[in-house]
Structures are given as structure tokens and as C-alpha cells.
Amino acid sequence: MRMTNDGHVGLRRLLPSLLLLAACGSAKAPGAATSGAAGTSGAAGTGGAAGASGAAGESGGAAGGAGATGVGGAAGTQGAAGDSGGAGTAGAPADGSAPDGGAGTDAGSYDGPNPEGGTVLPPYAGGIIDVINASNWNETTIHPFTARRMLVRDEGDPHLVLMDFARTTPLVWKTVADGTWARGIQLIGNNQVLAGRNDGYEVLDLTTGQIVKSVTSFPNTQSAYRMANGETMLTQSGTVLSFLDKTDRISHAISYPGFGYVRMARPTRNNTFLVPSDTKLFEGDSSGNILWTATGAEWAHIWEPLLMSDGNVLLATLFGSSLDVVDRNTHRVTKRFGTKTMPMAAKFHPNGFGEFQILPNGNFITSNWQGTGSEQGGSGIQIIEFDPTGAVAWFYQQDRNIFSSIEGVQVIDGMDPKFLHAQEISADSTWQPVVPTP
């Protein structure tokens, strides 16, 4: 079953499942069964997921594979997996090398080669290489929804969170992070996560969530990103991109005069930068020249742009509540994912599409921010995944006891945290490992 942009296909079948979403949190694919426990003969088809008491819920059972509640299921807090269910393993421990600003660890876990018993990933041959693609990453046999791991940024109640749906209790850790100006999530190697701050960035241990390093000397920072060459790029109000060396000193900077409001600039494989500025998107070069600008209907506080494999740009429009495709030649919007009038909008409550990710299978997963403050956890469905046709492929009904207003999401299935992962070395802006990590 699919939902389409016009809502006429599959909407009637989706309605019962959506109306029975668990208030305490569940991870689902459209077409989910409404019972939380997985039966021995299977409760739903292969596109199903955990039911009304499912993932992160209070009494749901664990969803299984194709013969149980389907690949879209996820673990509850008390149930058990059905006969053909079962979650992927946590993978092998990280290498324990000394982290960026802290001591080494030998207790980490990662999705390295063969993490869920599926296709063995290609060996790392050295250099900067692409190893994560549709042939070795999918959401059925290799990285199923039932074993999904994702980093989530909550802005309403400022925390960075690691979720693992293969666990009985999906919440792995929840760490207090910087407030409303904290943006950006990235695996940077040595089993560590980079997270932006309003005055720089911080580094967290992926296994424990402990903050091991804080850089706080750069006011007006809007987001942070670790480049494939090892520099840390800070997007700053102005609009200025500042590049920090390994000692966290500015090695060089790029200024784009005439633009103010900015959130998450991103480097491209063409050695340029895509920069969102309130109602305008532009591409700039390393000398500060503007190559082109674009505007779109309902753009407001636009958030993050990524260069797609076909040369078009995918843009999170925040208050436009959409991911918009901007044509590489005309710079006009040619397709929109989501929008405030998407099918079942009353249930999804599209409010603000922020930090998002292009997945290796061509899907797009986005946060759906619901507003500031700590009491937004019961509003909307705050993580939504679209397939390339615009249909909803999966969503996460947040646990209001864990989350308030989700602003960023990153699926880390298939990503080995021993390595820095970057987007500008990729042909499609998927996260790819930098080997060796600088």
C-alpha cells in the first residue's frame, strides 16, 4: 500500500492504522497491524509494523520480519518477538582508539560489515571511497525497521538522543544538549558524534552519550559540520562559513554579504556550498561568489539543502513543511514531499521540516518540528520517511515521555562509527565513510 501526494491511493487503508497510533511512541510503516504483539502465524504483511502498543510503547510486543508483524515493526518495552521476528545484532565493538577530546573506549557497538546477518559490506580499501549504496543497504533484509538505529535531536526539550529499535527499550541514551541554536548531527570517527552549539560544537561518545569535548569560542554559530578533509565548518550568522583546523582555530572563512538568516549550509561534491537564507537558497563558491539564487512558495526559515544524484537540490523548507526539489537548471521547484496538505495531514501535523537525510535506497527521512517548549511531545508525528514517489514509507510516533519537539534525525544503520562520515564525497549526498579518517 502506498500513499501518494494527491492522497487518493491507499488513503482508506491507511486511516485505521493511523487512528490507532500509540500515544507513547511507535515506529511504523504504513499498513501496520493494530495489535502490539507478534503472533506465531504473522499479524500483518511484510510492510507492516508494530501496532498501537508498539515501539517505545508500554506494553507492545516486538515486531518481527515478514511473517510476524512485518519489517516496519519495532520493539515495545515488555513484549517478545514472534516466531519469525527478531532483531538484528548490535554489531562488533568499536576500535577503542582515543576519541577527539577524551579517552578511548572498547565498549562501543557499530553497524559494521554484516551487522544484521545480511549482505557483507565491501572491505575498506583506504582513501576516500563510497561503500554505502542501494546494493548493500535496504530496509528489509539488511537494515530492517525493526532494528533501526537513529540519532535524534530534540529542540523543544534540548537533548541529543540515540534510539535502537532492536532493543526492548529503544532509548539508548539521552544527553542534555545546547538549546534552540544547536543543529547538526554527524558521525566523525572514533565512535563519536559531532553536534552543533550556538557558540561552536560539542563531541559525544556514541556508546554512552557522554560529552567528551566542547568548543565554545564561536558565537552566532547556527550549525556545525565536519568536512571530509578534517576541517570543521561552522555556519554562522552573517552569512559566514568559518573553517576550523584540528586545533579549533579558524584556518579560513567565506563570507556571502547580503544574506542574513541562515541555518545549515552544506558542502557539495562540486566544491561549492549550498546555503539556506530564510526565503532564499543560493549556491556559493569558495571565493564568496553567488552562483545562483532560488525562491519558492511557502519557504520560510528554510533549513537544509542537499545536492541530489541528478544535480537537483533537495531543500527542507521548515515552515513550508516540505522537502522541495529545486531544478538544477531553472532553479524552480519541480516536486514537493509532504506539505501542509499531505495525506492524513491532521494526524501527521506537518509543521516544520528541518534536518533531514537522503537514505542509500533513495528515500528521504525528515524531522517534523512541532514548536518550541517542552510540552510538544503529543503533537503530530515528528519523524517521517518518504519514498521517491512521495508516499510515506515509514514514520515514528514519538514517545512523549522522551521527546518534545524533534528538530533533527539521522539514521546510522550501515555507518561504521570508527570512520568520519561526510556528504561532499558522495554522488548523492548520502553519508559516506572517509577512510582513513583525518
Helix (H, G, I), strand (E, B) or coil at 17: helix
Residue 78 identity: Q
Q: What per-residue confidence (pLDDT) applies to 88?
A: 38
Residue 288 CA to residue 291 CA, distance in Å, equals: 9
Q: What per-residue confidence (pLDDT) applies to 199?
A: 97
Q: What per-residue confidence (pLDDT) applies to 330?
A: 98
Kindly report, residue by residue over 188-202, the tens digit of the pLDDT: 999 999 999 999 999
What domains are there in the chain, each with its CATH number? Answer: 145-434 (2.130.10.10)
Q: Is the pLDDT of residue 184 over 90?
A: yes
Contact 204, 174 (CB under 8 A): no
The 8-class DSSP code of residue 346 comes to H
pTM: 0.75
Kindly report, residue by residue over 264-306, the tens digit of the pLDDT: 999 999 999 999 999 999 999 999 999 999 999 999 999 999 9
What mean pLDDT, rounded, does the chain reach?
A: 79
Neighbours of 219 (CB within 10 A): 11
Q: What per-residue confidence (pLDDT) applies to 27?
A: 74
Beta strand residue intervals within 61-112, DSSP E: none
Q: Is the pLDDT of residue 64 over 60?
A: no
